[in-house]
Amino acid sequence: MAEGGSAKRVTRWDFPPGSQPFPLIIAHRGDVASAPENTIPAFRKALDLGADGIELDVRLTKDEKLVVFHDRRLERTSTGHGPVNHSTQDQVRELDAGSWYSPVFKDERPPTLDEVFESLPADFLINVEMKVIMKGMRLIAHRVAETLRRHARWDSTLVASFNPISLWELRKIEPRITRGYIWSCRHPFPIRSRIFSPFVQADWYDPANDSYNPRLHRRFHTGGARVLAWDLDFNRDMALMVSAKLDAIVTDSLETMLERKRELA
């Protein structure tokens, strides 16, 4: 634990399931109400507001390096065009990833995972989602593991994916990394069935808002795993999340959820 004002801040992802008085509040792609998603300003703002951690997305570039970017294509959140993996890391880093959000963030660049780690406290919780379908599904695990090794960021980093092969590779090459398994009813079978769970051996299970149910939640806790869910599963009702012993939520409504947590506390 680390001191954060008068309250202790959780600094590890490996606490006992159901042990927290409130679910951790994780800012989805940073504080997206104040800054463009998946940028350093959004991550720093989330830290300043009091989020327990942030969630971000990493993809492989054409030259097989990591960049923090959500979409498969560049158009929505940058001045680039085409798939991310058709550009080199340097080419993606040259793009403007802030003007689409506000002129205030003109020339904000997509960061690397190294830059994110260097920009935030070493004990601040970060949930890294590996975005990959087929090509590079093993390589991305190696690149993420290499980055964590460089920063020795073992306890405060959770690496998640809906791709079980990537998570299986991650478990093989670096079992010290905490793993999260994401799934949704929208994913094709057999991904949505979690049939690959024995290979992944996840420390966290991360149901999307169409996939959560209390029976699975209890089963995961009994097996020693924790549960991170999107807040819409509970209609943003913090009291309901507490009664369910939910371990963490990922939210786009950071300030609202932090205020509800303060009110309930």
The residues that are catalytic are 28, 70
Q: How far apart are CA 119 and CA 104, in angstroms?
A: 20
Closest CA to 236 of 220, 214, 255, 217: 255
End-to-end CA distance of the chain: 19
Closest CA to 194 of 176, 230, 219: 219
SS3 169: helix
Q: Note the helical H segments in the chain.
A: 40-49, 89-93, 113-119, 139-151, 164-173, 197-200, 214-222, 238-243, 254-264
